[in-house]
Amino acid sequence: MNLTKRIGAGFLVLALITGIFLMVRLVMDLELVVGFLTITFGLVAIIWTTKAKNSLSKGSTIRAYATNFLVALTCLLTYSIWRVIMVIFFIDSRAIILEYFFITITYLVFVSAAYRILYLSEEFGFNEQVKEIKRLKKRR
């Protein structure tokens, strides 16, 4: 890593530590601090995933996985935003059904991605190599 990137990374870490410290001092509510940090990291993850997805070839399998990942991240971010809104505005706990909705959608997206990954090995033929490795292990 060159010197410019190291300095940039150092400033990033310093900014994160300063931001967390100031947030804790100003907000004084740990649940809100964690909520805001979660939203911040969620936004960064969505931005990076979008950039990565846009750089992949259209129609490629990995681009489809990136899309699944992006949808799941969006659901998690929506859940985090809803959770912070509930804390800030003291929304009745009966509204928790929306939390379960966002989490359920996220799990469904992950199940879909897991299903696609399951059949990825057939697409690239990893099945035979796994069988050969298991056979070699048994011989030892």
Whole-Å CA distances, 17 to 14, 30, 75, 77, 99: 5, 15, 27, 22, 29
- Express each pLDDT in 33-80 by its tens digit: 888 889 989 998 999 999 999 999 998 888 988 999 999 999 999 999
Q: What is the pTM of this model?
A: 0.71
Q: Are 47 and 70 in contact (CB under 8 A)?
A: no
List Cβ neighbours of 69 (8 Å cut-off, separation of 6 or more): 49, 113
Query: What is the secondary structure of 114-136 as a DSSP string?
Result: HHHHHHHHHHHTHHHHHHHHHHH
Where do the domains of the chain lie? Answer: 30-139
- Express each pLDDT in 1-22 by its tens digit: 687 878 878 877 888 788 777 7
